[in-house]
Amino acid sequence: MLIAIEGSVGAGKSTVAKGLAACRNSALLLEDFEANPFLRAFYNDPLEHAIETEFAFLLLHFHQLKSQTALASSAEVIADFHLGKDLIYADLNLRDVRAQRLFTQLYELCSERTPEPTLMICLSATTELLVQRIEARERDFELKIDPEYFDAVNAAYEEYFRRFAGRKLRVSMDDWDFVKEPILYKQLNSLIDRELDIK
């Protein structure tokens, strides 16, 4: 079983995934975003480096998720990403029509070979909170981006959550502060068990 935690950049996906995996005694899969060799170039010039950045992320995510297929069939894996995010960013960043078409074809190929999430946990937050968190963690390449880009990413995620047809659980990160109140992991754990009908 795969539980995927998704949300805009700065929403707290990794923090929630780590805490939830510990609470549920589940395997943990964290996005290896730093393995993308084009990421810093993208943040310096998004239009110039969008193609290599988005295709690289799709293949990195595919490889990570594919490696968990056997484990997810017999145990619970909690990941702080899923392939759906690649469609979101590609839609925002790819301007070339041919690149968009190739990306969609590659996404479909990768999607067929990775486990579908049994449950999607959707972390929602206001753009103001996201920008505060992005500034606080001080990743130099993120600080170069206009906050309007993060607003667009956040809006795209909200639309993705709305349209996602599988089982999903929405968590408002403006109301749930897992860092200040770790006991919230137990509350989230109960909501997950209820959603999955686990007794």
Give the residue extent of every domain in the chain: 2-195
Q: What is the pTM of this model?
A: 0.90
> What is the rounded distance in angstroms from the CA atom of residue 107 to the CA atom of residue 116?
13
**Separation between Cα atoms, residue 31 and residue 13, nearest integer Å:** 10
Supply 89's token pair: 């960013």
pLDDT of 144: 63
What's the rounded Cα separation, in Å, for the pair 147 and 139?
A: 14
Token couple for 27: 């395997």
What are the tokens at 39? 């990421």
Predicted confidence at residue 115, as pLDDT, reads 93
User: Collapsing DSSP states into helix, strand and coil, what is residue 28?
Assistant: strand
* Class in CATH terms, 2-195: alpha beta
- Consecutive 10-residue runs of the chain (199 residues): their mean pLDDT? 93 95 96 94 91 97 96 95 95 95 97 95 90 75 71 92 93 93 94 85
Question: What distance in Å separates the CA atoms of residue 164 and residue 139, rounded to the nearest whole number?
Answer: 30
